[in-house]
Amino acid sequence: METEAKKVWGKCLKIIQDNISTESYRTWFVPIEPVKLENNVLTIQVPSQFFYEWLEEHYIDLLRKTIRKELGPEGRLEYSIVMDNSYPGNSPFTIRMPGSNRKATENPNVAMPVNINADGSAREIPNPFIIPGLKKIKINSQLIESLSFDNFIEGDCNRLARTAGWAIAENPGKTSFNPLFIYSAVGLGKTHLAHAIGLQTKVNFPDKTILYVTAEQFMHQFTEAVKNHNTNDFTNFYQMIDVLLIDDIQFLAGRQGTQDVFFHIFNHLHLKGKQIVITSDKPPVELAGIETRLLSRFKWGLAADLQPPDLETRIAILEKKVYNDGLEIPREVIEYIAYSITTNIRELEGALTSVIAQSALNKKAITLDLARKIIDKFVISTTKEVSIDYIQKVICDYFHISLEQLNSRSRKREIVQARQLAMFFSKEHTNASLAAIGMACGNKDHATVLHACRTVQNLLDTDKEFRQQFKEIEKRIRI
């Protein structure tokens, strides 16, 4: 029954893929799992209630036609939704929801506001207050041109947030992502994504009033407005924004007056169908010092996190920066930097900049040896954490094999031994679980990892040549 469901859903996906963009297909259909097929009812599992609502709102027509094509006119769709259980110690559970007979939402045409003075001329002003006599003002959006979608590298770590941001730029204020709440640790691209959304919206809707502002700027502006007795002008100014991008909202914590005025601005913008994008270093549920009524509104749209980039994304980020700077750097140098710095995009780019600067200042070619000298100092100052990716890279270099060979099902002696060493060093030098190590080393189980560790230990005790190899590899890992 499950196999039949997979077969039918596979045929449906081929049709769906031909009718929507690749980006939308990856985001909204690849994560879906077929569960069962009974009495012409196909049940699919989706990751969340929000996911289900989005499919029903935007793709129900396509889904309905596709299901009926594959199952006949009586074919129907049901959803199995994975729900979080908020009680400690309890596992997530699922609920079943039938597909509806509603029509997919069409993106409406948006009437463009005009930025004009009372006399009909456009005007740009630096201060954040409305001027008497102006119907609408042209303002400095404070967007940085280099922080665009073109320079924002997509990966598994940020795909949901990026896709939501792109959807907003195509139809601001009219999607389910209002507000869009982006959160992550420092240096992972929150600010970049906020600017990218603003810039792309500006391209698509040049007459919209767009403003990027940090929470600290907002707070200082409000403080000045209170001092000058013009808080009404301050509020009126923000209420006329079409797309408000506010960065680092956590800095409003404990600022009762600022939170109160932001609450009223938020309500006004949301009610009028204006777009709000907020960034934070924590998800809404973990924000301390923010009023409950604000936190509840942050959850109205989509909260999307940005994770540390995986190896492929880190390499792509560095290659993009090198390309944009018009430089040529050996691939092995880029890979070494990507393997060495794993948690922070800002530090990753900073390390590349340091290597380029040292090469220019000392008039030396950029080589792997130069990169090692610079990165070793850089990594020490940023508390380097040895990763499974890095260990695998060292072992692949040592045995002159590819990563694909290392993680393949090959039973060649040298490949098996390299794989066992990768598992052993990963257990010794990282905090990863045995299951996580197995997954990273060719999708093996934890029992295989334990066996590998025992085999390596036995060889260390009995094989002198192997012991020498082991020491050389460990030295490279610790460099």
pLDDT range class, residue 96, cuts 50, 70, 90: low
Q: Which amino acid is at 163?
A: T
Residue 212, amino acid: Y
What is the helix (H) or strand (E) element at residue 350, kind and residue range? helix 345-362
Residue located via tokens 């391209």? 203
pLDDT at residue 385 in the model: 57
Q: Is the pLDDT of residue 128 over 60?
A: no
Instruction: Note if the bond before 113 is cis, omega within 30 degrees.
Output: no
Give the residue ranges of DSSP H helices in 59-119. 60-71
Whole-structure pTM value: 0.56
Choice between 36 and 127, residue whose per-residue pLDDT is larger:
36
pLDDT band at 118; cut points 50, 70, 90: very low
Question: Of 163, 243, 240, which Cα lies nearest the Cα of 202?
Answer: 243
Please say if the pLDDT value at position 300 is more than 70: yes
Does residue 91 carry a pLDDT above 50? Answer: no
Helix (H) or strand (E) holding 378: helix 368-381
Is the model's pLDDT at 90 over the cut of 60? Answer: no
If you average pLDDT over residues 448-462, what whole number do you get?
90
Q: Is the pLDDT of residue 406 over 80?
A: yes
Mean pLDDT, residues 400-413 taken together:
87
Mean pLDDT of 300-326: 86
- pLDDT average, residue stretch 63-90: 74
Each residue's pLDDT tens digit, 356-402 = 888 877 777 888 888 887 777 665 444 445 678 888 888 888 888 88
Q: What is the pLDDT of residues 100-112, one digit of tens each?
A: 554 444 333 322 2
Percentage of the chain lying above the pLDDT 90 cut:
18
Domains of the chain: 2-98 (3.30.300.180), 137-305 (3.40.50.300), 311-381 (1.10.8.60), 388-478 (1.10.1750.10)
Angle formed at CA 395 by CA 394 and CA 400, multiple of 5 degrees = 105
The DSSP secondary structure of 108-162, one letter per residue, reads ---PPP----TTS---EESSSS--TT-SS-EE-----TTSSGGGS---TTTHHHH
